[in-house]
Chains A and B, each alone.
Chain A
Amino acid sequence: MKSLNVSILQFPGTNCEYDTVYAFKRLGHNTNVIWHKEESIPADTDLVVVPGGFSYGDYLRCGSIAKFSPVMKSVIAYANDGGRVLGICNGFQILTEAGLLPGALKRNDNLHFISRHQHLKVVNSNNDFLKKCKEGEVLYIPIAHHDGNYFVDDETLSDMYDNAQVLLKYCDSEGNPMVVNGSVEQIAGVCNKDKNVFGLMPHPERAMESILGSKDGIRMLEGFGI
């Protein structure tokens, strides 16, 4: 496995940046926390992570203000150039708002914040992110969000299936579909057409050690280093 330079963005209100640092360091990677006012990301960046939290308090819409931060301009350029970007939770919301990923995330259908360990089914693993996972495999990963109700129109969704862009779905321990927050077809994670931008609501960085309840996050994040 090669050691990566991981650039982790920090917006005002981000609160998972240090968890993300901790997780990638455990995997032997170098990490850099990048303040949102920076105009550029380090040139040797191998992966950009947009971590979870409540950027700008999520006051207008989750992720809607963060996409205009100076650093996001260079992240968008980096992604359009083929660079790899992973958005977790609020990061997923920011990437959809920024147009790097299809769809949008609405308020959970029960209107409550939902925090718990949740089973996820791997739908497509033919990509940089999930290549260590098997298709159909069931993972056990924490979720913690208020606005994780994924929406995308039917036409785009059908394109996404054709391009293997639907990555993860909520399920029960047996792998059967499970309604968690109202997401279209229980979708929990997706990627873009070029398979270099990834977004998911669950938190793999919280599932790195058995003493915290699950190690399945390792298998997810390891993919980037291979």
Chain B
Amino acid sequence: MKAIVNIYLKEGVLDPQGKAVHHALDSLGFDSVKDVRVGKQIVLDLDAKNKEEIEKEVKQMSETLLANTVIEDYDIEIVE
């Protein structure tokens, strides 16, 4: 089973990389872009357990190491 953790800077925390990409898209003429957030994706390959257990475990991983909850939010996707 795979767990995908997506990590982004929290709403309200300035995202300098997102800002730079937004500017770049603007200057390339993609003027429909309203906002850009740059995040990271961490893909975990896990020994098959039940989905709930894995979700719980990955949540713990995210809180302790993968994300810094002072500035970052995360979401978890489980893929079978």
Mutual binders A and B: yes
Q: In this complex, which of B13, B14, B66, B71 has the most chain A Cβ atoms within 10 angstroms of its Cβ?
A: B71
Partner of A96, one of B16, B17, B70: B70
Q: Are B17 and A111 in contact (CB under 8 A)?
A: yes
Q: In the assembly, what is the distance between CA of A170 and CA of B71, in Å?
A: 22
Within 8 A of B (CB), among A42-65: 60-61, 64-65
Q: Are A65 and B65 in contact (CB under 8 A)?
A: yes
Partner of A151, one of B20, B65, B66, B71: B71
The main secondary structure of chain A at its interface with chain B is loop
Within 8 A of B (CB), among A161-176: none
Q: Are A64 and B16 in contact (CB under 8 A)?
A: no
Q: In the assembly, what is the distance between CA of A182 and CA of B70, in Å?
A: 17
Q: Are B17 and A107 in contact (CB under 8 A)?
A: yes
Interface size class of B (residues with CB under 8 A): 10 to 19
Q: In the assembly, what is the distance between CA of A104 and CA of B9, in Å?
A: 12
- Give min CB distance, A76 to chain B, whole Å: 14
Q: In the assembly, what is the distance between CA of A68 and CA of B16, in Å?
A: 28
- Give min CB distance, B15 to chain A, whole Å: 8
Q: Given contacts A106-B9, A149-B16, are A64 and B68 in contact (CB under 8 A)?
A: yes
Encode contact with B along A62-99: 1 for CB under 8 Å, 0 otherwise.
00110010000000000000000000000000001100
What residue in chain A is nearest B38 (Cβ atoms)? A107
Q: In the assembly, what is the distance between CA of A42 and CA of B20, in Å?
A: 46
Q: In this complex, which of A103, A106, A107, A152 has the most chain B Cβ atoms within 10 angstroms of its Cβ?
A: A106
Q: In this complex, which of B9, B20, B68 has the most chain A Cβ atoms within 10 angstroms of its Cβ?
A: B68
Which residues on B sit within 8 Å (CB–CB) of A64?
A: 65, 68
Q: In the assembly, what is the distance between CA of A64 and CA of B14, in Å?
A: 20
What residue in chain A is nearest B70 (Cβ atoms)? A104
Known: A149-B16, A151-B70. 19 other contacts (CB 8 A): A60-B65, A60-B66, A64-B65, A65-B65, A68-B65, A97-B68, A103-B70, A104-B71, A106-B13, A106-B14, A106-B16, A106-B71, A107-B16, A107-B17, A108-B16, A110-B16, A151-B71, A152-B70, A182-B14
Could you tell me which A residues sit within 8 Å of B by CB distance? 60-61, 64-65, 68, 96-97, 103-104, 106-111, 149, 151-152, 182
Could you tell me which B residues sit within 8 Å of A by CB distance? 9, 13-14, 16-17, 20, 65-66, 68, 70-71
